[in-house]
Copies of this chain bind each other. A is one copy, B any other.
Amino acid sequence: MHTLPAVTEPLTTKSRSEMIEITKLVQRHVQINRVTDGMVIVYVPHTTAAVTINENADPDVKHDLLRKLDALIPKAETYYQHGEGNSDSHLKTSMLGNSVTVLIERGKLILGTWQGIQFCEFDGPRTRSVLIKIVSFDRPTSD
């Protein structure tokens, strides 16, 4: 068992709220490093952007999810004290979470049929980054 250094991947977002699927990006690192058995931790180092695992097919799900989050947690509340006007973005981030753990077996991410890894921007547009850390459970080879 060993680990690979965490890799930072840049992301550019285009809207205030947006979900960007990064499944292939993560899978690519698993393949490049020829990890057969292990796990990957996808970690967002921001406080107004999150990562979640959800629908990879119909983009309407992303629309509905973001729209409903905005309805529940609008940008402004009379009692908000934080001066940057993004308190809603902070709460959405904590609700969805800033990291996910995905298992790797036979060189592939274990994901359900409809699951994709979704980076969630809640205070864009911005330049963001995501950390990909692979923990390999393979025995070290002597090649």
Contact = CB atoms under 8 A, between A and B. Distances in A.
The main secondary structure of chain A at its interface with chain B is mixed
A60 B82 contact: yes
Contact of A101 (B3, B6, B41, B71): B41
A10 interface: no
A111 B45 contact: yes
Question: In the assembly, how many copies of this chain are there?
Answer: 3
Interface residues on A, range: 35 or more
Interface of A: 1-3, 5-6, 37, 39, 41, 43-47, 52-55, 58, 60-61, 63-65, 67-69, 71-73, 77, 79-84, 87-88, 90-91, 93-101, 103, 105, 110-115, 131, 133, 135, 137
